[in-house]
Each structure stands twice: as C-alpha cells, then as structure tokens.
Chains A and B, each alone.
Chain A
Amino acid sequence: MLQRLRENKSAQGTLLALPTMLWLFVLLIVPLVLTLVISFGRRSPDGDVIFTFTLDNYIRLMGYHTDCPGGQSRCFDPIYFHILWRSLALAFNTTVLVIVLGYPLAYFIARSHPRKRNLYLFMVLIPLWTNFVIRVYAWMMLLRKEGGINIALGWLANLLGIPFEPFEMLYTPGAVLVGMVYEFLPFMILPIFTSLEKIDNSLFEAAADLGANAVKTFLRVTLPLSMPGVVAGTILVFIPVMGTFIVSDILGGRQVILVGNLIQRQYLDARDPTFGAAASLILMVMTLIVTYFYTRRFGFGEEIVAV
C-alpha cells in the first residue's frame, strides 16, 4: 500500500491537496449552494426560510415590489438598482484613485536604493497591523465636524483671517471614498511594486540608448511592463470594495448604502435571509462579470515579465 503510494506521484498530489479540498468544499461550495437554494425561497412571517421555488427576491432586486401603495399588483422602485449601481461606481472610483495614488509611490519605492526599499515597504504595511475597523473609526475622528481636519482648517483660516465654517464631511459619499482608498491602497502598491521591481534596469538603459527620453521610456517600456501588477492590484481592490460594508457603515452612516450594507441588513436587521441571499448572488455575478471582461482585456497579471 505504502509502496504503491510512493510510486504514484499523482496519488501523492491528491492526498496532499485533500485537506484543502475538503475545507473548500465544506466552507465554500456547500454554503454557496445553500445560498442559491435559499435565494429562491420565501421568508416566513417570523423570519425563517420557507424552501420553495420563487423568483420574487430577484424581481424585488430589479426594483419591482409586490406590496405597493394604491393596491397595484406590481410597482417600480429603483432603490436596489441604485444601491447596486452606487456600489459599482464606488468600486470603480476607488480602484482608479488607488491606481493614481499608488502607482507613483510604488514606482518611487521600486527605484529607491535597495536598503531604503524595505523601510518604505514596511511603512506601507504598518497600517495593516491595526484592525480594519479601528482604522475606519480613526477616519471618523478626522472627518467629523469637530474632527481633526476641520480643526486644522479652522486654525489655518484663523491665521489668514478668513471666516471659517466647519465642513460636513462625515456621512457623505466622499467620506466613504476616502475611507475605501485609504484601506485598499497597500493592496495596489504591493503588486505594482513587485512588477516594477522585476523590470531589469538595462531595459531603461536600452530605451535611453535607442533615443527615448524619460517620458517616452515610461510610456513605452515601464508602464506596459508593469501592467501585470496594475491588473493584479485592481482585482485585489475592486472585488473587496464591491462587497465590503464596514467602511460605508461607519463613514457613510445611513446616507451611503452599498450592496454589502444591504446584504448585512437583510440577514441581521430585516431578518430576511432569502432576500439577502439573492442580493449576495447578484453581487457575486456582477463582480464576476466585471472581472471577466477586465481580465479578458488585460490578462490575469500572470504574464510577469522577467528578463
């Protein structure tokens, strides 16, 4: 038995992968199937799931209610549609901003002296040592009316003799965007840094040697060769931003509701797991579609170029 296992490489591989496969099956595949089943169910008056097959939850997500004012059988209310659209737009904006902010920093770190490089990377990673929620609360302290930013601005205005009215920054879409960008910046910087660092210095020299100035070298050599990092970072940022609810909960209050908040509230507050399950699946499908088209256009980031 043991002897045969020794000779069979593929059986060895299966055996090694078995624990992980079991884990994924029990904790990913099974819940996913359950969620799918529940999403076609109906909520009982006391918040339990009645297993049946109805598309009511999906129809509701598309904006059609069954309990309408004025006795209509179906009426249109785009609220969920708005939530979905808002989540998509926020994820898009966050990703773009994170690229715009993260790329130059990643470039700076990759081009810095090797001995300083680790220090800079360390500094990028330090915020991740603090709990996610605590970091979001810290932003609340900065953004609220009596918060750090308003105090600083007020002091500056006072110095310049300008009348100053504190800004309402907390509980706005802008606050959520700032929070998201802050939380996910490291996840863009690291993959871009990795792909920039892999570019051999002689390629920049070759470009200069062939007549390219700094701008042309960047556009024709550096940027294309670092695209795998940008793609990987985008996937790492876009997907979680689509689903997260903590940032919008704390910095957006009741004003900025995202799909994540919707799902969370269906499960906890509204006690309607069937609708929550349907929203979860819609979120997943949306994310998959966006990622699919994105990776079809730019690849998976696997074409890391090494010289």
Chain B
Amino acid sequence: MAEFAVEMKDVLKQFVTPEGDVLAAVNHVSMQIRNGEFFSMLGSSGCGKTTSLRMIAGFEWPTQGEIYIEGRAMGHTPPFQRKVNTVFQNYALFQHMTVFENVAFGLEMEGASKDEIKKRVARALEMVQLTGMERRRPRQLSGGQQQRVAVARALVKVPEVLLLDEPLGALDLKLRKEMQLELKALQQQLGITFIYVTHDQEEALTMSDRIAVMSKGVVQQIGTPVEIYERPANRFVADFIGESNFFDGTIKTLTRTEARVYVPELNAEVTGLPVSDGLANGEEIVVSIRPEKIHITEKDTLNTNCFQGRVINTVYIGTDTHVYVEVGTAKLKVFEQNRISRLDPGAFYTVGQEVSLLLPPENTLVLKKK
C-alpha cells in the first residue's frame, strides 16, 4: 500500500472565463491524504474544493502538477479507469433504472457475474439500510433514501477512495445530522479513505479526521478539527471556522515564547501572548480571541489583560447569551453560557451596564496579517 491514498502535488487548474480571462480555480495546491482517513475540504463556493475533488475523480485534468492515487500518477487517466468512486451533490441517480439496477450498474461494468452482482448489491443496500427497496425507482424515494442509494452505488465497487461532493447539502438539518454520523460510522467500519467536500464548517468538524481549509484556490491550513479551531494558521481560518474578535496590533516586545502587543482600538497593551515562529518585533499583527474564551464579570478589576467596558447589546439564544461590549472604540462579542435557569432574559447583563472583560493570554492568539 502506498504511503498516501491520494496526493496532490503542486496542482494548478486554470479555466478560461467567458470574458476570456484566465482564472486559477486551484492555485498550486499540495495535499497528502492518508489511507483510511476521513479528510474534508472545507471552504465557501469558488474556493477550489469541488474542482480539486473533480480532478481526483478524473472529470477534470490539472493544468499543471500531478495527482497520485495509491502512489500511481494519474495523468490523463479517464474516470472509468480510476479506483475511486464519487457520491454526487445531486446524487446523479439513473432515473430510468430501479434502485437495484442503479447499484448494480458499476458491477456490470466490471463484468461481474449475475450471482455476484446480486450478492454484492444486497450487501451494499443492507449497509445503507435500504433492503426491500430494490425495485423502487429513485423518484419514489425520499431525499435521504436517494442519498443512501448514491452511497451504496459508489461503495459497492469497493473503491480505494470514496469522493463525496457536498452529499448532504440537499437534506434538511435533522436528517443531515443523522447522515453525518452514519457516514462517519460507515467510513470507520469499512476503513475506506473518504474525501469529503463541504462548505459547512460544523459538518467538517463533526466528521473529519483532518480538514483542509481552502480559499480562492489556495489551501489555508490542513489540520485536525481541534488544531483548526484552537490554533488557526491565519485570520482567514480563524474567521471562517467559528467566530472570533479581531484587533489590529503591533508587537512591542517579543521573547521566544511570549509577546506584548499594543492594540490601538483598546488603547492598551495585551501581554503574555503565546507566539509561534516567524514573528518580528515591531510587526503589525492581528490579535484574535474567540467569544466564548473571554471572561466577563460585573466587578471592576485591575488584573492584567483586563478591560473595562459597557454592554451595548445582549442576545439570548438558549444555550448562550451573546453579550456585545464596547471597550474604547472596539466592540467585543462575548458568549456567556447560561448555566443557571432564569426567566428574565436580561438577568445577567443589561444594556448600559459597566462590566470588565478578561482576555486570558493562553487563549489569545497572535496571527500574521498576511
């Protein structure tokens, strides 16, 4: 077995727009997807995730660079000769065939015997809990069932890699959550490499072993869900995954492990911030802190990294109360968990109230401006 299930090496894909401009949908992307991994490509539309997936499937060919599947360079290998299968965004089921015929199609193309086809289709349908639906037409199935047929049709061929292009996008929220867990369980049970394209960060965080966050054809960060959320590589990732408060700042003093940063908006210095490599004294940077990591108290304290502010808005959303606080000219968003059951939605904080915010240095990140 090759070291990586799929490897993209410096892949460039250019398209010519109708106006005649050359557009790089995928701009020199390299990534290595390990065997048996649940790997997600996450980004908003136009970030290059679907184009990358289509190049792995063989529907598009790279303008430059090379894609390896199980160590073999793919070049211009057509899709029907690649050992990968795709679950399409709109399922792309054959409406003129029954569920059985849809799932059997790929096996017929391999020239499998009738008996073998019967056995394998039955097993695949059992896997996605569609036993008994063999003779239905796709049109007679619900969206979730069609989705399962699409998965069974791809998995029945026992691909080395399964490619999923926003497969849950058309389902309603509750069904989507169910299917997320089911797909994840299926992947763990089969041990097949899944490459999953989605624009839904929660979906990616829930399912993936590793995530590649993409933007404008470029990979911004590859990492585990925890790494991506807790240690975003740059402002884009911090902004795209979850929510964050950002402040422009300047590094005042820099040691090997800590930085002291002046933030004009707060008209104050934030100290003891953990730093990564590649920062310089005096550099213009971005300070980032997630709303749930800020401590909010009613007391007036004078600790370090503590700032006095005034509540300008509160929003009760059930699990949390979002508190918007003005500090200097900066507006901060703070998520406060509703640990105590009270009927008054404004029980904790009211507009105009004076509060103090603590920015714990270990949770406050220094990001390159880029």
Q: Which residues of A contact B85 (CB under 8 A)?
A: 209-210
Q: Which residues of B contact A220 (CB under 8 A)?
A: 105
B92 pairs with A208, CB closer than 8 A = no
- Quick check: is A73 within 8 A (CB to CB) of the other chain? no
Inter-chain contact total with CB atoms closer than 8 Å:
65
Shortest distance in angstroms between A76's beta carbon and chain B's nearest beta carbon? Answer: 49
- Quick check: is A307 within 8 A (CB to CB) of the other chain? yes
Assembled-state Cα–Cα distance A220/B106 (Å): 12
Q: Which residues of B contact A205 (CB under 8 A)?
A: 57, 59, 79, 86, 88, 92
Please, which residue of chain A has its CB at the minimum distance from the CB of B89?
Answer: A202
A307 pairs with B92, CB closer than 8 A = yes
The interface bits of chain B over 66-94 (1 if a CB of A lies within 8 angstroms of the residue's CB, else 0) are 00000000000011100011101110111
Q: Which residues of B contact A210 (CB under 8 A)?
A: 80, 85, 105-106, 109, 153-154, 157
B106 pairs with A305, CB closer than 8 A = no
Range, interface on chain A: 10 to 19
Shortest distance in angstroms between A220's beta carbon and chain B's nearest beta carbon? Answer: 7
Interface size of B by CB at 8 A reads: 24
Q: Which residues of B contact A125 (CB under 8 A)?
A: none
A203 pairs with B109, CB closer than 8 A = no
The answer, among A209, A305, A307, for a CB contact under 8 Å with B79, is A209
- Quick check: is A282 within 8 A (CB to CB) of the other chain? no
Q: Which residues of A contact B86 (CB under 8 A)?
A: 205-206, 209
Given A207-B105, A210-B106, A211-B109, the answer on whether A221 and B94 have CB atoms closer than 8 Å is yes
B92 pairs with A212, CB closer than 8 A = no
Assembled-state Cα–Cα distance A205/B110 (Å): 17
A307 pairs with B90, CB closer than 8 A = yes
Assembled-state Cα–Cα distance A172/B269 (Å): 100
- Quick check: is A116 within 8 A (CB to CB) of the other chain? no
Q: Which residues of B contact A224 (CB under 8 A)?
A: 96
- Quick check: is B188 within 8 A (CB to CB) of the other chain? no
Please, which residue of chain A has its CB at the minimum distance from the CB of B111?
Answer: A211
Q: Which residues of B contact A212 (CB under 8 A)?
A: 80, 105, 109
Please, which residue of chain B has its CB at the minimum distance from the CB of A212?
Answer: B109
Q: Which residues of A contact B153 (CB under 8 A)?
A: 210
The interface bits of chain B over 39-81 (1 if a CB of A lies within 8 angstroms of the residue's CB, else 0) are 0000000000000000001110000000000000000001110
Please, which residue of chain B has its CB at the minimum distance from the CB of A206?
Answer: B92
The answer, among A202, A211, A213, A225, for a CB contact under 8 Å with B92, is A202
Please, which residue of chain A has its CB at the minimum distance from the CB of B110?
Answer: A211
- Quick check: is A216 within 8 A (CB to CB) of the other chain? yes
- Quick check: is B95 within 8 A (CB to CB) of the other chain? yes
Assembled-state Cα–Cα distance A221/B102 (Å): 11
B95 pairs with A225, CB closer than 8 A = yes
Assembled-state Cα–Cα distance A307/B59 (Å): 19
- Which residues of A line the B interface, CB within 8 A? 200, 202-203, 205-213, 216, 220-221, 224-225, 305, 307
17 intermolecular pairs with C-beta atoms under 8 Å apart? A200-B92, A205-B86, A205-B92, A206-B92, A206-B94, A208-B59, A208-B78, A209-B57, A209-B58, A209-B59, A209-B79, A209-B154, A210-B153, A210-B154, A212-B80, A220-B105, A305-B96
Known: A209-B57, A209-B86. 13 other contacts (CB 8 A): A200-B92, A203-B94, A205-B59, A206-B94, A208-B58, A208-B79, A208-B80, A209-B85, A210-B154, A210-B157, A211-B80, A211-B109, A221-B94
